[in-house]
Amino acid sequence: MRHVGLKARMAVVGSILFAFYAMLAIVAFEVFGVGIPVILLGTVAFAGFQYVVGKKMALWSTGAEDMPEERYPEVHRSVERISEEMDLEKPRLMVADMGVPNAFAVGRRGAGVVVVSSELMHLLSHEELEAVLAHELAHIDNRDVITMVMGQSIASMLGLAAYFVVAFAGEDGIGSIVLGYIASILVQSVAMVFVLAISRYREYVADSDAAEHVGGDAMARALQKISSAGQRGNAELDDNVSALCIFGGERSALERVFATHPPIEKRIEAVRNVERSYY
Percent helix, strand, coil in the chain (nearest 5)? 70, 5, 25
* Euclidean distance between CA atoms 139 and 201, whole angstroms: 12
Q: Which helix (H) or strand (E) holds 227?
A: helix 216-232
Task: Answer for the pair 124, 103: CB distance below 8 angstroms, yes or no.
Answer: no
* Euclidean distance between CA atoms 225 and 180, whole angstroms: 45
**Which among 128, 130, 136, 212 is annotated as catalytic?**
136
Q: State the CB neighbour count (10 A cutoff) for residue 63.
A: 12
* Euclidean distance between CA atoms 36 and 218, whole angstroms: 49
φ, ψ for residue 92, nearest 5 deg:
-70, 135
| Three-class secondary structure of residue 95 per DSSP | strand
φ, ψ for residue 115, nearest 5 deg:
-110, 130
Torsion angle defined by CA atoms of residues 2, 8, 11 and 16, in that order, rounded to the nearest 10 degrees: -160
Task: Answer for the pair 37, 88: CB distance below 8 angstroms, yes or no.
Answer: no
Residue 136 is a catalytic residue: yes
Classify burial at 179, counting beta carbons within 10 Å of its beta carbon; exposed 0-12, middle 13-18, buried 19 or more. Answer: middle
* Euclidean distance between CA atoms 35 and 198, whole angstroms: 30
Report, as residue numbers or ranges, the catalytic residues: 136
